[in-house]
Chain A
Amino acid sequence: MPNTQYAIRLEHITKTFGDVTANHDVTLEVRRGEILSLLGENGSGKTTLMNMIAGIYYPDEGEIYVGDQAVDIRSPRDALALGIGMIHQHFKLVDVFTALENIALCMEPGEKYDLKKVRSRARAICEKYGFALDLDQKIYEMSVSQKQTLEIVKVLYRGADILILDEPTAVLTPQETEKLFAVMSNMKADGKAVVIITHKLHEVLSISDRVAILRRGEYVGDVATKDADEALLTEMMVGKKVELDIDRPLPVNPVRRLSVHHLSVTGPEGGKVLDDISFDAYGGEILGIAGISGNGQKELLEAIAGLQNADGGAQIQFFAPGTEDKPTSLIGKSPKDIRDAGIHLSFVPEDRLGMGLVGSMGMTDNMMLKSYGSGHSPIVDRKAPRELAEEIREELGVVTPGLNTPVSQLSGGNVQKVLVGRELAASPIVLMTAYAVRGLDINTSYTIYRLLNEQKKKGVAVIYVGEDLDVLLELCDRILVLCGGKANGMLDARTTTKEEVGLRMTNLQQTKEVRA
């Protein structure tokens, strides 16, 4: 029965997108005066569920109660009227507006348009919580952490009885994170309900009162934070106790395959997104790259693959088997130049359907994305790609209605199998993967680990950019930590600790130490 101690209650919520069930029969409640962590793997339906509370999506089935009232939240407008505020994972900011104008968008209905008043109230909020924010700065001039801070100020300006935060700390510095946590504790003390979605277990444990867990779109259960530890939470999240237990053979006869020296990349806004990175990658080992997302991982891989321009003075050298004494420079080479030079460099990018594959094309046509140009005929040859597609479908168990079904209609795991399958088929010497298991179920993830290890045993130099530290520590041989675009230490994955990696991800060490 409805109970007023609940701020919001979801009953039997189901939401599907086409064939994909994002949430199935989820029942969940948030109490007043508590901070609830919503935990789950990528793709477990956390964001979709919260978006239904915020009015972005409308549930296919089920009921939502605010207090003891059954409500229909048809739009974000309805949600706001019910006192529901949400900080979305992707910024909801207008680029050409100033911070102040963005805050003004969130004024109460009927509130008089008085920017002076908005300014003084926004200032007061910043001062109260110690946020540094230039209200006259345009959004396009802001860093990601400034944007995130603005999002927090926005939601405080509007005020909310129920606040949802979707991965708010991903781009914040530790200091900013602490300020945010102070805000959350304040709201809790005021008797408001706070839901935070985060992957960082230490944050879950330090800030929340209760943890609710979703797995594959379904509600698994909840646990009081005081009774929880990382092992328990991980177990609930993935369904069984994770003895990650990833196979890690010792590197056999490592040979230098890729050498990066003094690599810097200037971002579109002028600042350095990569600052003087140097490292070597060896055949027969997996080199992990750790870092909070957005700290230069994407740029690093793209610069090597020829998709980003390196600043002057950088060196990227490729050592082909047999001609190790005569490396080829990759600087200034486009992806096509690299391919034409006979360099076997495979790259599984983070954005699978926006970069690695063409969503509207089937498996066959995606197989030839990099090879369609071979040969002199002006006509594309679809025979070999079709055979390759068939092979990958068989070997990796890709579930698809047909080889010509647009890959955008496949599930995330199958999409990744298609992409990884194609990249491995190119018999790489260096293989780069970015967030290769993001959003995949455990089984597919293990398939990917297995495939990477097979490559390693073949003598391929594997570079693995990951976000899950446990995986990085168990899968990789060495780990390069990136922080703010700088190299912040090369660690031996067999001896280092999670704490050490985590510390280096957030705090820049002395440069000298890194070099050593």
Chain B
Amino acid sequence: MAAHTSHPAEPLVRIARRKAAPLSRKIAVRAAAILLALVVDALFIFFVTGLNPISVYVVMWGGTFSTPVRFSWAMRDLSTLLCIGIALAPAFKMRFWNIGAEGQVLVGGLATALIMVYFGNSLPAPALFAAMVLGSVAAGALWGFVPAWFKARWNTNETLFTLMMNYVATSIVACMTNIMRGQASSLGTLNKATKAGWLPIIFGQRYTINIIVVLVLTFAMYAYLKYSKHGYEIAVVGESENTARYAGINVRRVMVRTMLISGAICGLCGFLIVAGKDQTISTTSAGGNGFTAIIVAWLAKFNTFYMALISFLLIFLERGASEIASAYSLNEYAADIITGVILFFILGSEFFINYRLIWRGHHKEVKGE
């Protein structure tokens, strides 16, 4: 046994892949991650501001739930974020990194705004809305098509391509709003007098249509991915292009088609933002939702109902943080910090679902030496 004294240390901890973790573990790990993140955030709040974190969280809760108006705002923001997440789902399921949602939303919104401005007084309402929807969908689809075509044809890196397309979109939007505003200092609300192209108020709520559209999309996309032939093809292509070719799936066509859909839904989201929410367009109309939605879509593993849950969590945090900001005269950037910390924890927690740790000492020594 002399050899054992000079035995070098077994690694402190080793990592092995876990097969399929049971649902209970998945839920427990994620809940623990969010709880831990909230504790970290509470520490941050306490040390920076000296405020009692518990009461801060109570105020935060009020950001979404204190009044019906607040809640409707939260639902409005939720619908925007979720809509983009839904748009990204098929692309991500195909393992196509569409980082360009921000730009796709912007061009969709721009198309809507242009039609509102230039046809708002000449077209009857149904035709106007039809034109707005078609225009926004076409613009978004085009923005999705370009990188997809190059990826399909030349295998051009889509992550970087779609990222760059965001800024091309931003420039075009800046240019067009500049033209639309003419001599005015800013574009302001479109068709303020006529309200042409504004989505109507339903049930006394301004955002009803936005919410309904996104609700329908949530179910539709879930069904599309799970039950349609297209969805099946997307799943095969995402898993292995070789298998897809073997199965006779035209990989290029599926890639382009899926990105057309992804871009089109982003464009539609642009329509909802301009016609149903802001009634104007600017370079910040998408408000970073295009990037946040990437995280939402990824964390939800392309399941649109999980996406709704995660979107709600993020919107709840964001609204809560701005509530804190106004209540304690902090600034709203606190929301970014709190969101960032929570995202870090959720991202990190995936590890504990997919892998297990083997600690030193668990390694069984051989007996009978």
Give yes or no for direct A-B contact (beta carbon below 8 Å): yes
Q: How far is the CA of A68 from the CA of B3 in the complex (A)?
A: 8
A72 lies within 8 A of B248 (CB): no
- Residues of chain A within 8 A (CB-CB) of B227 are 379-380
A18 lies within 8 A of B19 (CB): yes
Interface 1/0 per residue, B199-238 and A, CB below 8 Å: 0000000000000000000000000000111111101100
Interface size on B, residues (CB 8 A): 35
Q: Does chain A have a CB within 8 A of B171?
A: no
Q: Output the least CB separation between B260 and chain A (Å).
A: 16
A307 lies within 8 A of B7 (CB): no
- Residues of chain A within 8 A (CB-CB) of B229 are 372-373, 377-380
List which B233-247 residues lie within 8 A (CB) of chain A. Answer: 233, 235-236, 239-240, 242-243, 245-247
B228 lies within 8 A of A58 (CB): no
Specify the chain B residue showing the minimal Cβ separation from A405. B20
- A355's partner among B6, B242, B363 (CB-CB below 8 A) is B242
Q: Which of A160-168, A224-232, A332-340 contacts B (4 or more CB under 8 A)?
A: A332-340
Q: Output the least CB separation between B313 and chain A (Å).
A: 27
Q: Output the least CB separation between B40 and chain A (Å).
A: 32
- B243's partner among A18, A72, A356 (CB-CB below 8 A) is A356
Specify the chain B residue showing the minimal Cβ separation from A379. B227
Q: Does chain B have a CB within 8 A of A21?
A: no
- Residues of chain B within 8 A (CB-CB) of A61 are 363-364, 366
Q: Output the least CB separation between A333 and chain B (Å).
A: 10
Interface size on A, residues (CB 8 A): 49
With a 10 A CB-CB cut-off, give which of B17, B242, B245, B248 has the most chain A CB atoms: B248
List which A286-334 residues lie within 8 A (CB) of chain B. Answer: 305, 307, 334
Interface 1/0 per residue, B27-68 and A, CB below 8 Å: 000000000000000000000000000000000000000000
A380 lies within 8 A of B246 (CB): no
List which A367-422 residues lie within 8 A (CB) of chain B. Answer: 368-370, 372-373, 377-380, 406, 409
Q: Output the least CB separation between B299 and chain A (Å).
A: 18
Q: How far is the CA of A186 from the CA of B73 in the complex (A)?
A: 79
B17 lies within 8 A of A72 (CB): no
Specify the chain A residue showing the minimal Cβ separation from B14. A58
- Residues of chain B within 8 A (CB-CB) of A71 are 8
Q: A70-B6, A307-B245 are in contact. Are A334 and B236 (CB under 8 A)?
A: no
- B7's partner among A70, A356, A377, A379 (CB-CB below 8 A) is A70
- Residues of chain A within 8 A (CB-CB) of B236 are 358, 369
Q: Does chain B have a CB within 8 A of A359?
A: yes
Specify the chain A residue showing the minimal Cβ separation from B245. A307
- Residues of chain A within 8 A (CB-CB) of B249 are 336
Specify the chain A residue showing the minimal Cβ separation from B366. A12
Q: How far is the CA of A115 from the CA of B10 in the complex (A)?
A: 36
Q: Output the least CB separation between B250 and chain A (Å).
A: 7
Q: Does chain B have a CB within 8 A of A19?
A: yes
- B3's partner among A2, A19, A377 (CB-CB below 8 A) is A2
A360 lies within 8 A of B239 (CB): yes
- B6's partner among A69, A361, A378 (CB-CB below 8 A) is A69
A356 lies within 8 A of B232 (CB): no
B246 lies within 8 A of A349 (CB): yes
Specify the chain A residue showing the minimal Cβ separation from B246. A355
Q: How far is the CA of A380 from the CA of B227 in the complex (A)?
A: 6
Q: How far is the CA of A373 from the CA of B233 in the complex (A)?
A: 9
Q: How far is the CA of A74 from the CA of B364 in the complex (A)?
A: 16
B3 lies within 8 A of A70 (CB): yes
Q: Does chain A have a CB within 8 A of B4?
A: yes
Q: How far is the CA of A70 from the CA of B366 in the complex (A)?
A: 12
Q: A335-B245, A356-B246, A379-B227 are in contact. Are A361 and B235 (CB under 8 A)?
A: yes
22 A-B residue pairings within 8 Å (CB atoms): A2-B3, A11-B366, A12-B366, A18-B17, A60-B363, A61-B364, A69-B6, A70-B3, A70-B6, A72-B10, A74-B11, A334-B250, A354-B242, A358-B235, A359-B239, A361-B239, A368-B232, A369-B246, A372-B232, A373-B248, A379-B227, A380-B228
Task: Identify the 7 closest CB pairs spanning chains A and B, nearest first.
Answer: A336-B248, A335-B248, A70-B3, A355-B242, A369-B247, A12-B366, A72-B8
